[in-house]
Structure formats: structure tokens, C-alpha cells
Amino acid sequence: MEENLKLDTRDGLPDALRVLLQTYPRNTWPDHDNFAGLVAFWLDRHLMFRKLMTTLIDDAEQAIDRKIDPQTHAAKLSRYGSMLLQNLHGHHQIEDHHYFPVLSSREPVLNHGFELLDSDHHAMDGLLNRFAEGANAVIQGQSEPGVFRKDLLGFQSMLNRHLIDEEELVVPVILKHGPGGLG
């Protein structure tokens, strides 16, 4: 993969992968006939991931500032961290094995984009593993919340880059062709 398209170095999708986004700009999505149902649900999942990341970062900051005790932080980190890991992993599995193949067959010109998103998921496996290791170290008292917070900020940045790119590629395809065969 080209270096400038790797998840940790790119700043968005190349213009060649944004062709449908020009026809279906983000601000028009909720009004489209094919938005309700699958697209709305899928975007809600992305919103949940973003909210979980914000919660984890906020909790780490509270732990750093000693506004919550270590046991409370550990319990919340265990709960929300597990939720994030399990849901992201399942979400990526469904996308890689079902959504992306179906959507790329509908818009073959965007195959490179779906390959890019799939490679993001593989890159994120390493991030998810580091997240789990860092969270477990904090929970077990072997690492400080400040170190974990720094890792969370980097993870949040890459997760958000991936989610935005994924939305800008996937949603226009579904809006154009409908959700048939994806549900």
C-alpha cells in the first residue's frame, strides 16, 4: 500500500475514492430515502465508538487529576474498554466479510477504497491489542493512567480517521444502490 494511504499517515480519502461523496454529500444523507434503517444504524455504531473513546479519555483524565479513585477508574475502564473492543472487533468482521464484498461489487471503481478500509482493520488489530494491554496494565495497577491516556489519544485519532473515511466511502454507495443484501 502506498505510504500516504496508510491509516497512520493519510489525512483523508484520495479524490478518486470520493466520487460518490460529491453526488451524496454528508449533509444530505439523513434526508435520503435509503438512509433510514441500515445506514442510520451503522452510523449510530460509529457514534457509539466515538462516545466510548471520549468516555475512556475523560475517565483517564479524571484518574490523572485524582477526581476518581483507582478502583472506580479500573471498573469503568474494564466495562467500557471491553465494550469498545468487542464491538469494534465484531463490527470489523461483519464489514470485512459481508459489507465490503457486497458494496465493492456494486461499485467496482471503488474496490481500492474497500481494500484500503480492510487494511485499516488489520492495522487497527495492533491498536486494539495495544489498547487491551494498556488497559489491563492500568486495571492491574502496573501502569499510570497518564501513559494510557496518551495511547488513547493516538488511538482516537486513527479510529476517527478510519470512521470518517469509511463513512464517506460506504454511505454514498448504500444511498445510491440501497441496502438490499446487506441486512
> What rounded mean pLDDT belongs to the chain?
94
As a whole number of angstroms, the distance between CA 65 and CA 61 comes to: 6
Is the CA virtual torsion 56, 62, 65, 70 positive or negative? negative
Report the largest interatomic distance among the alpha carbons of the chain, rounded to a whole angstrom.
Answer: 53
pLDDT (tens digit per residue) in 46-100: 999 999 999 999 999 999 999 999 999 999 999 999 999 999 999 999 999 999 9
As a whole number of angstroms, the distance between CA 126 and CA 17 comes to: 25
Q: Which residue has the higher pLDDT, 90 or 1?
A: 90
Residues 6+ apart with CB under 8 A from 43: 167, 171
As a whole number of angstroms, the distance between CA 136 and CA 140 comes to: 6
pLDDT (tens digit per residue) in 13-52: 999 999 999 999 999 999 999 999 999 999 999 999 999 9
pTM for this model (two decimals): 0.94
**Average pLDDT rounded to a whole number, residues 118-146:** 94
